[in-house]
Amino acid sequence: MTLAWKDVRVEFRSREIVYTMCFFAAMVVLLFSFAFLRPSGEGQTNNVADLSPGFVWVAVLFAGTLGLSRAFDRERESGTMRGLLLAPIPRASIFLGKALAIFIMIFLVQIVVVPLVVLFFDAPLLEYPLVLVCTLLLGSAGFAIVGSVFAAMLLKTGSRDVLLPVVLYPILVPLFIAAIKSTTSMLEGGLADSWFWIRFLGVYDTIFTVAALWTFESLVIE
Amino acid sequence: MTVDAVKVSGLSKRYGLHRALASVDMEMGPGVCALLGANGAGKSTLLGIVSSIVRPSAGKVEYLSQGKALRGGPGLRKQIGVLAHESFLYSGLSALENLYFWGRLYQVEDMQERSVSLLKTVGLDEKAWTREAGTYSRGMVQRLALARTMLHEPSLLLLDEPFTGLDRTGAQALAQALQEAVTRKAVILVITHDLESIADITTHVAVLRRGAIAHETRSAGYSFAELKDLYHAHSE
């Protein structure tokens, strides 16, 4: 908690990462609207609301990767990650603290992205708020957990900004399929399907949390 | 549980094909051990392994307390203080916030009092205490890093070029902190090329050359000239 609170405090003061992530995510949504919305006569536009789950999660994925790199760069400057590894705390708690801070930042991005997608694409995303919130929370948690492990592992690597998406995205594929399926089923009114995919996200998050807690120390020690 | 001796046995470290350390054996007790050697001799690697942050390729490090080996983990790490090339400070936090943050991780009691007292000891200007560390000069950062290292009164102090960036008063503050650590019988390993600053307090000298111990000696004290002679005779 101390570590997560420190990250939130530094971010609240600099507003560097969250602002950049939110702006970037908003730009992605805007670009999607330019790419997919077409006039269909009489001042109407074509209906692409069924594609909106993809827009939400792609914007979150891109913005999240941006924030992930920067959040761990802060631990590289002045070698604070080494300082944390030397501190008398379980090394797994470093991972949990960073993941929690990143989770908060991603969730803030989603608070910006979802209303924008509703606005631009007229998507009824807010019709089942509980399902939406569960999907967003578990999706963000999974991204933060897996992302934190890989970002910490690549901290000492020179080309980490290039490598991070390359190694991270394949692992995140099941998470994004489940998040998009859950959101799509919710739009189509298939709540049973949505809950199935939410449970899948819960299992995914649990498996990767256990694996991360188990391997984090050996991945970050030189 | 405090560390009163460190025993290094058969320590080797390889980075790919490069051999950084080759079967180093060494024992350190309370007092200042100066680890000397030319650039690239393996000094920082040895310090990194002793600090528990670098994994050796072979060999082991034992931390002893009254003759008994201590188990690794958070309990042992609480006894270790490291002042390295990197400051371990967050540029977005002020001096006090940095010390409070690290103090919480090290479970320091009377953290506010201790932080203020240390900032005074290292001579950091009081006006800078609440300013973000990112605005500090190199010397100020080094003073704050020194305060951070001493915050939890470690019984094993590992210092890598601690005098870098310090002005005369900063160097005096560091010498005073070292003297205080010697008084409470801490084990201190110092890597430095500033031999003059550690001359009077050093009781153990080890010279590393190409990853191996080239010379090791103990004495009640060393003069600057003696340290210089040892360095030149064995490191090149």
Q: Can you tell me whether residue B69 is helix, strand or coil?
A: strand
**Helix/strand/coil (H, E, C) string of chain A?**
CHHHHHHHHHHHHHCCHHHHHHHHHHHHHHHHHHHHCCECCCCCECCCHHHHHHHHHHHHHHHHHHHHHHHHHHHHHHHHHHHHHHCCCCHHHHHHHHHHHHHHHHHHHHHHHHHHHHHHHCCCCCCCHHHHHHHHHHHHHHHHHHHHHHHHHCCCCCCHHHHHHHHHHHHHHHHHHHHHHHHHHHHCCCHHHHHHHHHHHHHHHHHHHHHHHHHHHHHHCC
- Cβ contact A78–B87 (<8 Å): yes
Domain boundaries, chain A: 2-220
> Quick check: A165 pLDDT over 80?
yes
Distances in Å between the alpha carbon of A168 and those of A61, A146, A150, B15?
Answer: 10, 8, 7, 26
Distances in Å between the alpha carbon of A114 and those of A57, A120, A149, B162?
Answer: 10, 10, 27, 51
Q: How close B51 gets to chain A, by Cα (Å)? A: 7
Most confident range, picked from A2-11, B66-75, B96-105: B96-105
> Quick check: A43 pLDDT over 80?
no
- Cβ contact B91–A9 (<8 Å): no
Is A206 an interface residue toward B (CB < 8 Å)? Answer: no
Q: What is the mean pLDDT of residues B101-111?
A: 89
When computed from its CA atoms, the radius of gyration of chain A, rounded to whole angstroms, is: 18
Q: What is the mean pLDDT of residues A200-212?
A: 94
Question: How many independent structural domains does chain B possess?
Answer: 1
Which chain A residue lies closest to B56 (C-alpha atoms)? A222
CA gap B162, B171 in Å, rounded:
9
CA gap A184, A49 in Å, rounded:
10
Range of the domain at B181: 5-235
Q: Can you tell me whether residue B104 is helix, strand or coil?
A: helix
| List of chain A residues whose C-beta atoms are within 8 Å of the C-beta of residue B161 | none
pLDDT the model gives residue B170: 82
Q: What is the mean pLDDT of residues A28-38?
A: 84
Is A79 an interface residue toward B (CB < 8 Å)? Answer: yes
Q: What is the DSSP letter of B73?
A: S
pLDDT the model gives residue B102: 92
As a whole-number percent, the residues of chain B with pLDDT over 70 amount to 100
| List of chain A residues whose C-beta atoms are within 8 Å of the C-beta of residue B57 | none
Chain A (86-105) residues lying within 8 Å, Cβ to Cβ, of chain B: 86-90
**Tens of pLDDT, residues A50-94:** 788 899 999 999 999 988 888 787 778 778 888 888 999 888 888
CATH code at B28?
3.40.50.300
As a whole-number percent, the residues of chain B with pLDDT over 90 amount to 22
pLDDT the model gives residue B42: 87
Most confident range, picked from A199-203, B18-22, B169-173, B174-178: A199-203
- What the block records as the tokens of B109 is 């009691």
When computed from its CA atoms, the radius of gyration of chain B, rounded to whole angstroms, is: 17
